[in-house]
Structure 1
Amino acid sequence: MLNDPATINHGSNPLLKDMRALPDFEFAARNHLSDQQYSYYRAAAAGEWSYRNNLEIWSRVKFRPRYLTDVTKVNETLATTILGYNFSAPIFIAPAARAGYAHERGELNFAEATGEEDILYCAAMYASKTIEEIASAKSNSTLNGPQVLFQQIYTDGNLSVTWDIIRRAEESGAKALVWTIDAPAASTHHRAARYYPTNPSKVQWKPHQPTHTTTTQQANPTAAYSNALTSALTWDIYEQMKNHTSLPIIPKGIATVEDALAAVEKGVPAIYISNHGARQLDHSPSPLEIAYEIRRNAPGVFRKVEVLADSGVRYGSDVIKLLALGVRAVGLGRPFVFANTYGVEGVRKAIRILKAEIAADAAQLGVRDVQNVPASFLNTRALDDTVFLMDQ
């Protein structure tokens, strides 16, 4: 049995064929990785209430299935576009640092698997491979021709470092920048911090300048965040960023309707709602709650810009709920990081599992077109007692 630890040797993985759902990969990874490696991936902020809420909130929104509907072609409707680029499904690999913990090829497996499966990969800035190394793993035969990658960026306290990262992303062929705005300070990771002081990492960041982080900071990600990244995150930096690139800039970490509206007013091409996988601020809202808050207060946001989302997604049904609220595409981080313990084949299988679940759940729901899931297919009343309303 997959769930019987007695049948698996510590440090080994169950057979890949036995992975049936995305949570199975976490079970396997917990047995395969060291305590430090697993705790780094699994850690969330403070008491981890937001982490638990990210996973549990989905049960508060029920489906309203409509039967006697012809759904025979639903598999043909998974394809979507993001900023005009074509992808086979409304899912993507979200920025997730240090993929090298799970597999020596790290982010190269993400690039290869997403190229083969024709979904988007948004490469993490704090990756275990450089921007150039990740770009070298791109496929040249996708729905878009050469594979499309987006590049995540943080804002360094020394802006010249940020401008250099942007330059290198452009030169490596990135098609958009995903600007993380929800990390203005070091976060509190009690779970992971228990392992950093006594067992320094052997997998370091791939800094984008030789002086970007020190060896000590590379061994302790919290120190790297607090000493390298700026706390002066403002829209002024966004305006400066636009002067240094022609690439579209997507603010990642939108958590309220007010910030969504501000982003639209600034003319962004897309927004990215997220609570950083619950890794930054405990008691921050889940993407489902954020999307619902925006829909209740300012539904026009979903018509004016494309909306991406991540955090806490584990099943195809989670994806469908976000699509029904108006989200264009949904990212996942931890599930693919855990799948990476199997290498590129594990990442590819995780993508295929999620695609199959989306299609099957959409059919069960009575959805003919995955790209047009009516909001009426959701019963969101259980969220009404907590949603923030701007007019009250």
Structure 2
Amino acid sequence: MSPTISPTELSRHDNITSLWIAIDGEVYDFTEFAPTHPGGIDILRQHAGRDATAAYNAVHSASLVKSVLPESKHLGRLSSPLPVSTSTTLSSNKTAPKPPLSRLISVNDFRLAAHTFLPPKTLAFISSAATDCHTHRRNNTTYSEITLRPRVLVDVSAPVSLETTILGRAVASPIFVSPTSLGKTVHPEGELEIARACKELGGIAQVVSTSASFSVADVVRAAAEHPGPGPSSPTLANKNNTHPVFLQLYVDKDQSNTASLLHSLTRTKTNPPSPSKIQGVFLTVDAPVPGKREADERVPPPPTTTTTTAASTTITPMATPLTPSSDNRGSALGRLMASYISPSLTWHATLPWLRALLPPSVPLVIKGIQTAADAVRAMEAGAQGIVISNHGGRSLDTSPATILVLLELQRCCPEVFDRMEVFVEGGVMRGTDVFKALCLGAKGAGVGRGVLYGLGWGKDGVRKVLEILNDELVTTMKMCGVTRLDELHPGLLNTRAVDHLVPEDLSEEHPYAKWRRSKL
């Protein structure tokens, strides 16, 4: 039976030499963990000797602390509860009732509806993009500049199957869920509800962020325990009923933390070893430092009261607990939570190190490719795939729209499509967008913000967002005279309106680059 610890005893351990914290009635010793904490020691000191349940549960899964700290650091149960915080959390303060799902018929409907009931800080975090948001807008609007070339008098009466594979895993659709952070700020079950929706649709691939509110193990478990597909569109039949889960990885400044995370997800002590919990690792390389997201900076965190014993506005992603607060730069959650991410990644050191940590069966994908030259480098480095991404326009404004980079690969290095799988994300709001990406060689198209907006209604909202996109994709295919994914090709598109924006060769061989080398 666990020892009982009084609030008075807990309060005595309120400093860095003896740092205890209570969560959900259980007391944990964070003393040894605190100096290596990715988010710094200050947040732990803030809650030292206190009950941090409100802060922890705002965005965390119940099991996370037990997976971070060894059992020996679980000291016992709190004998009596401490005062409950009365401050406002990021997932409360709804300003309007949610419209019924039956009234929402497009992804944009979900976006507009979410703005009526999600708290301002949550909306700012989800929807914000870097500086003037040019890239964020162009990610979507550039799709509209590429027009379709429908073929007519083709028999399209046969059912369309969207079933395909992603990194060798059977999926019900080429549309996958892109990684997003802090799902619990939108819905209490966060990424778990996303997993359940993907499972119900017959197996939609889900990429889970290192900064998710729930651990990857929690997501995998939620999907495994959820019933199979319910009544859904026949186009989403996946006879294997798989739910591939991939990890989107931010490398920690303390690389031992990353090594431990990967080891826990890919290697087990069983004999013979059981399969990896994840089907691949998506290494994020387009955010070595946080972008300036001005909308997020401008919206302050909800105020706390002077009577709180735990700051319930604490944002606690999977890798780094942090508290949103204002400084002379603003109060962006994105900037605050990115403090643990390493800015020191390199082609020659990071990729071999990661590859050595992963079992051969777990593919490595480079996420954040924005030039043909880097696509070639990823191919030559042995990556199994790349994701063309600019972090949803959240990192570097005026970087190219992702569909333009896909065009650049077609023009400058088409061989990469034969050597590895190419994915694209950013700005996907319609089934026509997915169709165009697939015509240009993408193996799959990711959706991030749209899924988060749907998450406001839980798994049913996420499911409907994905169903809408899949239905639109099927309609587009039939309108263009095709009924199979392998029939899609660039000839079904007219890209002349944007061709002039695409480089003609690899950046290293650009005439200006040659001239510059000659002057050095």
Per the normalisation by structure 1, the TM-score is 0.92
Residue 183 of structure 1, aligned match among 287, 298, 312: 287
Contact 1:264 1:304 survives alignment (8 Å): yes
Which SS does the other structure have where 1:40 is aligned?
Answer: helix
1:372 & 1:167 partners in 2: Cα distance? 40
1:204 & 1:128 partners in 2: Cα distance? 9
1:220 and 2:305 matched: no
Residue 299 of structure 1, aligned match among 403, 410, 414: 414
Q: What's the CA shift string for 1:239-268, capped at 9, x where partnerless?
A: 101111112110100110000000000111
Q: State the match for 2:193 in structure 1.
A: 109
Query: Quick check: which has more Rg, 1 or 2?
Result: 2
Matches within 5 A, 1:151-162: 151-162=247-258
Instruction: State the one-letter code of the partner of 2:464.
Output: K
Contact 1:95 1:122 survives alignment (8 Å): yes
Matches within 5 A, 1:347-362: 347-362=462-477
Instruction: State the one-letter code of the partner of 2:125.
Output: Y
Matches within 5 A, 1:1-392: 10-76=95-161, 78-117=162-201, 118-139=203-224, 143-144=239-240, 147-170=243-266, 173-196=277-300, 199=303, 202=313, 204-208=315-319, 212-215=320-323, 220-225=333-338, 227-235=339-347, 236-246=349-359, 247-390=362-505, 392=510
Instruction: State the one-letter code of the partner of 2:180.
Output: A
Check 1:199–1:47 CA distance in 2 against 1; reply closer, same or farther (3 A cut): farther
Contact 1:128 1:204 survives alignment (8 Å): no
Deviation at 1:197, TM superposition (A): 5.3
Taking only the aligned residue pairs, the percentage that are identical comes to 31
1:198 & 1:137 partners in 2: Cα distance? 31
Check 1:125–1:199 CA distance in 2 against 1; reply closer, same or farther (3 A cut): farther
Q: How many pairs are equivalent? A: 379
1:98 & 1:327 partners in 2: Cα distance? 28
Which SS does the other structure have where 1:243 is aligned?
Answer: helix
2:302 & 2:172 partners in 1: Cα distance? 44
Instruction: State the one-letter code of the partner of 2:483.
Output: R
Instruction: State the one-letter code of the partner of 1:163.
Output: A
Instruction: State the one-letter code of the partner of 2:129.
Output: A
Which SS does the other structure have where 2:398 is aligned?
Answer: coil
2:167 & 2:289 partners in 1: Cα distance? 30
1:311 & 1:26 partners in 2: Cα distance? 15
Is there any run of 5+ residues in structure 2 with no aligned partner, and where? 1-93, 229-237, 268-275, 305-311, 326-330, 511-520
Check 1:148–1:169 CA distance in 2 against 1; reply closer, same or farther (3 A cut): same
Deviation at 1:332, TM superposition (A): 0.3
Instruction: State the one-letter code of the partner of 2:282.
Output: V
Deviation at 1:318, TM superposition (A): 0.1
1:250 & 1:340 partners in 2: Cα distance? 26
1:219 & 1:284 partners in 2: Cα distance? 21
1:145 & 1:355 partners in 2: Cα distance? 17
Deviation at 1:143, TM superposition (A): 4.4
Deviation at 1:361, TM superposition (A): 0.9
1:358 & 1:129 partners in 2: Cα distance? 31
Deviation at 1:308, TM superposition (A): 0.9
Contact 1:106 1:129 survives alignment (8 Å): yes
1:287 & 1:371 partners in 2: Cα distance? 22
Further displaced range: 343-352 or 317-326: 343-352
Instruction: State the one-letter code of the partner of 2:336.
Output: A
Which SS does the other structure have where 1:31 is aligned?
Answer: coil
Q: What's the CA shift string for 1:59-107, capped at 9, x where partnerless?
A: 211111110111122522x111011111111101000111112111100
Check 1:220–1:21 CA distance in 2 against 1; reply closer, same or farther (3 A cut): closer
Q: What's the CA shift string for 1:277-331, capped at 9, x where partnerless?
A: 1011100111210100000111111111111110000000000000000000100
Deviation at 1:21, TM superposition (A): 0.6
2:440 & 2:134 partners in 1: Cα distance? 24
Contact 2:384 2:420 survives alignment (8 Å): yes
2:382 & 2:471 partners in 1: Cα distance? 35
1:82 & 1:203 partners in 2: Cα distance? 36
Which SS does the other structure have where 2:343 is aligned?
Answer: coil
**Runs of 4+, deviation exceeding 6 Å:** none
Instruction: State the one-letter code of the partner of 1:193.
Output: E
Q: What's the CA shift string for 1:35-60, capped at 9, x where partnerless?
A: 11111100000110111111211121
Contact 2:315 2:322 survives alignment (8 Å): no
Give the CA RMSD over aligned residues. Answer: 2.0
Deviation at 1:350, TM superposition (A): 1.0
Per the normalisation by structure 2, the TM-score is 0.70
1:197 & 1:359 partners in 2: Cα distance? 42
Further displaced range: 133-142 or 257-266: 133-142
